[in-house]
Amino acid sequence: MRRFFLIAVPYIWLLALFLVPFLIVLKISLSDTALAIPPYTPQLDFGAGWDGIRNFFAALDFENFTFLTEDALYWKAYLSSLKIAAVSTFFTLLVGYPIAYAMANARIEWRPTLMMLIILPFWTSFLIRVYSWMGILSQEGYLNQFLMSLGLISEPLIILNTNWAVYIGIVYTYLPFMILPIYAALEKLDGALIEAAEDLGCSRLSAFWLVTFPLSKGGVIAGCFLVFIPALGEFVIPSLLGGSDTLMIGKVLWEEFFSNRDWPVASAVAVVLLLLLIVPIILFQRNEQKAREADQ
């Protein structure tokens, strides 16, 4: 009885507040827009009995999804989300790997402090961290002031409200997600392997490419997914740092819902976004599974 209670409480909570809402999204994505409250049809009418239910299902269709394929905006938004997520994941790797490498090679008594300093930004507001770049990247911002005072540029660079600002924002906010798994992989690495490679004729650089990097691949893949997956559905960064031409699907969904009040289309956008995410999520889980097996 007690066990039943223990299972039932969180189970019912999640069913009611996670699964059911998601099914509602799915259902509304198959409905039509209407000028009503709530602004979609059909409504499930239990009062009408079986006929009501039959009519309800008969009225569902894939119209919204067809609409998504017809309107170039959505196509472009999906593709551009994928591109922005992929490019920023690549940059995050480029920035994060050397930091993780240096941390793993730092003196052992320094490592916990370095770890804490990497994690600390996690606890500060995401919104504030994104916001802090607005002042840096704007046309009269600190970066332009700095570069112009050095005489490196004569005209201010336009970074804010471009995709570049979005890349920087994603790299900045998701950097710890990249560093931590790579650091974990590198820290486990047996130093004797590098010595063995050098002993067998490798220079330091070739020992890195032939031994260190392949052995940290698991961490690199995990880090890339941990950045790519949330970046794909990102909303705050493109809306604060991106320009009006920065298309990301999270932003489109938000606008579809709040500005256009087109709930069915917003729901359809959500369903497609989720479909897009399924592939990387499954790949990520495979990678984790493999890492766990390798550990045993």
- Which residues 66-125 are close enough to bind another protein by CB under 8 A? 95, 98-99, 101-103, 105-107, 114, 116-118, 120-121, 123-125
- Hey, CA dihedral for 10, 12, 13, 19, is it positive or negative? positive
Q: How many amino acids of this chain bind another protein (CB under 8 A)?
A: 96
- 239 binds another protein, rule: CB under 8 A: yes
Q: Which of residues 181-200 bind another protein (CB under 8 A)?
A: 190, 192-200
Binding region for another protein (CB under 8 A) out of 23-31, 56-64, 85-93, 148-156: 23-31
284's CB contacts (< 8 A; 6+ apart) are 221, 222, 225, 226, 229
Closer of 76 and 230 to another protein (Cβ): 230
Taking the CA atoms of residue 21, residue 23, residue 27 and residue 29 in that order, the dihedral angle to the nearest 10 degrees is: 70
226 token code pair: 């941990």
Q: What is the per-residue binding string for another protein in 272-291, x denoting contact by CB under 8 A?
A: -xx--x---x----------
Measured CA to CA, the distance from residue 58 to residue 144 in angstroms comes to: 59
Closer of 87 and 274 to another protein (Cβ): 274
Q: Kindly state the smallest distance separating residue 22's Cβ from another protein, in Å.
A: 5
Q: Kindly state the smallest distance separating residue 288's Cβ from another protein, in Å.
A: 11
Q: Kindly state the smallest distance separating residue 35's Cβ from another protein, in Å.
A: 16
Q: Which of residues 149-178 bind another protein (CB under 8 A)?
A: 172, 175
Q: Kindly state the smallest distance separating residue 49's Cβ from another protein, in Å.
A: 20
Contact 202, 210 (CB under 8 A): yes
Closer of 24 and 48 to another protein (Cβ): 24
